[in-house]
Amino acid sequence: MRGDREDWVTEQINERTKGLDKLGIEEILRRINEEDRFVVRAVESVIPTLAKVVERVVESFRSGGRLFYVGAGTSGRLGVLDASEIPPTFGESPERVQGIVAGGTQALHLAVEGAEDDLHSAVDSVAQRDISTHDVVIGITCSGRTPFVLAALEEAGRRGALRVLLTVNPVDPESVPADWVLAPVVGPEVIAGSTRMKGGTATKLILNMITTTTMVCLGKVFGNLMVDLQPTNQKLVQRAVRMISGQTGLDEIRAQALLEEADGHVKTALAMHQLSCGVEEARRRLESVQGFLGRLGAE
């Protein structure tokens, strides 16, 4: 299953970055930047399949399901990162999007020897979270062959979950335990085999696209405003006040008072202003339109 590493695109020598150690700082930076341009085009090539994946994630969330990212090393850390940003940005429960990294919490800041080859741990990680038919599991592996990831996908499949493999190397879809494969092939890395670079960038872009688009489709965004954010620090409180002020025309003092009346929830505050009603009525009306602020008045 793992194949010969020399056959992996990301392990090949990049002819455009040979002699990197002989270049000056600015030229090194330019070479890296030039290589990163390949990433955007590679991600663009998988958008049709990515759209189908997001559609299923939205369906999963609407039926009470969850999204799991599974990965080792950089891939696993990027999954945990994306998952951790969903609650404060969109007001979702931490249970909704979860990251599973080979080696557990320790692997977020230190390499855990042998973690990516631990098949038993992969199966246990899926079982412990009671992954089932309502869930979507995205296995992230730049090589497309990481044993921990493939074992987790196999177990998720046995439990009826939808499985997606995200890789930056070409793979035969029939050879991997996944319903869909996302393979934005980014080409040889700047430094051979260092998939924390182009591979990691492609991964971050795609995970951002999946969760952001899902949240838009679930009414968590009004226009391009994160109206379900959790104002848990002064910066976010100020952002919330600015959003309310900008959308309502209220000065910031009155906008902050409205935010406080709405228990710190921007969307509720905006609904209260739009409908000229109290907080409970605003919540009821938002619930009637599945949380889509833009649909108020049309229900």
Sheet hosting strand 67-71, strand order edge to edge:
97-101, 67-71, 136-140, 162-166, 180-182
Annotation says 35 is catalytic: no
Query: CB neighbours (10 Å) of residue 291?
Result: 17
Tokens 């455009």: give the residue.
16
Choose the catalytic residue: 116, 154, 155, 189. Answer: 116
Annotation says 34 is catalytic: no
Backbone angles phi, psi at 100, to 5 degrees: -115, 120
Question: Distance from CA of residue 167 to its chain's centroid?
Answer: 14
Query: What single letter denotes the amino acid at residue 139?
Result: G
Q: Can you list the pairs that 38-45 forms with residues at least 24 positions away whose Cβ atoms lie under 8 Å? A: 38/186, 38/187, 38/198, 39/184, 39/186, 39/198, 39/201, 39/202, 39/205, 40/205, 42/168, 42/184, 42/185, 42/186, 42/187, 42/202, 43/184, 43/202, 43/205, 43/206, 43/209, 45/184
Backbone angles phi, psi at 138, to 5 degrees: -110, 115
Those residues whose C-beta lies under 8 Å from the C-beta of residue 231, and which sit 6 or more positions away, are: 237, 239, 240, 259, 264, 266
Dist. CA 64–CA 262, nearest whole Å: 26
Instruction: Tell me which residues are annotated as active site.
Output: 85, 116
